[in-house]
Amino acid sequence: MSAAFRPSPPEIADRDSAHRPALVLLDPSDHDILVARVTTQRHQSSFDVELSEWKEAGLLAPSWVRLHKLAAVEQRLVRRKLGRVPETDWSTVQALMRQMFR
Q: Is residue 4 part of a domain?
A: no
Residue 73 DSSP SS3: strand
pTM for the full model?
0.80
pLDDT in tens, 38-53: 999 988 899 999 999 9
Other beta carbons within 10 angstroms of residue 3's beta carbon come to: 10
Residue 96 is which amino acid? L
Report, in angstroms and rounded to the nearest whole number, the Rg of the chain calculated over CA atoms: 13
- CATH code where residue 47 lies: 2.30.30.110
Q: Is residue 17 part of a domain?
A: no
Q: Is residue 36 part of a domain?
A: yes
Q: Is residue 10 part of a domain?
A: no
Other beta carbons within 10 angstroms of residue 31's beta carbon come to: 11
Q: Is the pLDDT of residue 10 over 80?
A: no
Maximum Cα–Cα distance across the chain: 40
Supply the range of the domain harboring residue 88.
22-100
Q: Is residue 30 part of a domain?
A: yes
Q: Is residue 94 part of a domain?
A: yes
Considering its fold, how many domains does the chain have in total?
1
Q: Is residue 9 part of a domain?
A: no
